[in-house]
Structure 1
């Protein structure tokens, strides 16, 4: 069986992002049958505007995002929580991936959402909003993939998520449902 190609999109743009570090920990703990690639910063992608989404003229950063998502078997959205919801950079990526309407890179694409946040619930509101937006955009949202790590500012102040045994154990739990989707599609 070929490897499940997972594209991770990190919603945080901060240089020392805990969600970027969580994505790195996910990448480092992926089983042999999963290849996790972390997409570059979403901050360079212009805000979605139908006027600039013209065939042959799509901004390079948006075109690269679409190409990466089209090549992936599964998307993994890694999100912090900004004022109770996902950051604008992640919502913007979802908007670009939802177009062209009905045939965007998200259409039918298995998509999971995880993350970490400062609050006591680990950003579950942002994760719920990201699942909702991705689903409306046409993704096949993997509702059984859950990972919300609370207290990120304190928990990861001096410890990388890859070195947190509890987080690593939780990370390992997300891969079974991610790989089950590819196995179902291959059957």
Structure 2
């Protein structure tokens, strides 16, 4: 069974280690899993209900919703800013959770992973992202976690795909998402 996974990266920085993790996930995805890295979160304006009406929805938000509509599952890559989720990732969740009653997340599997400079690898932000996804209707894989600490030094000269430990863990995360979608589809 082919599974489409939409990857959302909560950092806009060109050299983002979380973006590198997403790139690694794409390369390591098992057969039957296709990961699309959404490009364009920087263009999605802050969620405003006044904009979320027919004829006013910004093109970038429409593109995000269309990509989410094609997805069977979501994989979020979350850095940690000041102990919590980044504004760009929270904004994506907000746009995709609306309009009320029509969340793009409803009934779809989601996992959150990431890396951060600190000693815990961004666990607080990732927990906040899981919470927001669950409230938005996603089937959050709570036990699927990957928090890589010390990103600035760990990935200074090594891309995550070339870090054997991270690559193995990331491969397992994607495999679990793939299995979850397959199990849900068979039910």
| TM-score for the superposition, normalised by structure 2 | 0.96
The 4+ residue runs of structure 1 with deviation greater than 6 A are none
Determine the C-alpha separation between the residues in 1 that align with 2:35 and 2:77.
12
Task: State the match for 2:83 in structure 1.
Answer: 84
Deviation at 1:183, TM superposition (A): 1.5
Match of 1:175 in 2: 174
- In structure 2, how many angstroms separate the alpha carbons of the residues matched to 1:179 and 1:46? 31
Match for residue 65 of structure 2?
66
Secondary structure in 2 matching 1:159: coil
1:99 aligns to 2:67 (yes or no): no
Partner of 1:41 in structure 2?
A: 40
Question: 1:32-82, CA deviations, whole angstroms, 9 ceiling, x for partnerless residues?
Answer: 111011000311100000000012321000010001011000011101000
Distance 2:19 2:174 in 1: 18
Match runs of 1:1-187 below 5 Å: 1=1, 3-187=2-186
Please state how far the C-alpha of 1:144 moved relative to its aligned partner.
2.1
| CA distance in structure 2 between the aligned counterparts of 1:131 and 1:59, rounded to whole angstroms | 26
How many residues of Structure 1 are paired with residues of Structure 2 in the alignment? 186
Q: Which runs of 5+ in 1 are unaligned?
A: none
- State the Cα distance separating 1:110 from its structure 2 match: 1.2
Higher alpha-carbon deviation: 103-112 or 77-86:
103-112
Q: What is the distance in 1 between the residues matched to 2:138 and 2:55?
A: 25
Given that residues 111 and 140 in structure 2 are in contact (C-alpha distance below 8 angstroms), is that contact kept between their aligned partners in structure 1? yes
Residue 68 of structure 1 aligns to a residue whose secondary structure is: helix
State the TM-score, normalized to the length of structure 1. Answer: 0.96
Q: Deviations over 1:119-152 (max 9, x none)?
A: 1111000000000011111111111211111100
C-alpha RMSD over aligned residues: 1.0
> Which consecutive residues of structure 2, in runs of 5 or more, have no partner in the other structure?
none
Measured in 2, the distance between the counterparts of 1:163 and 1:41 equals 26
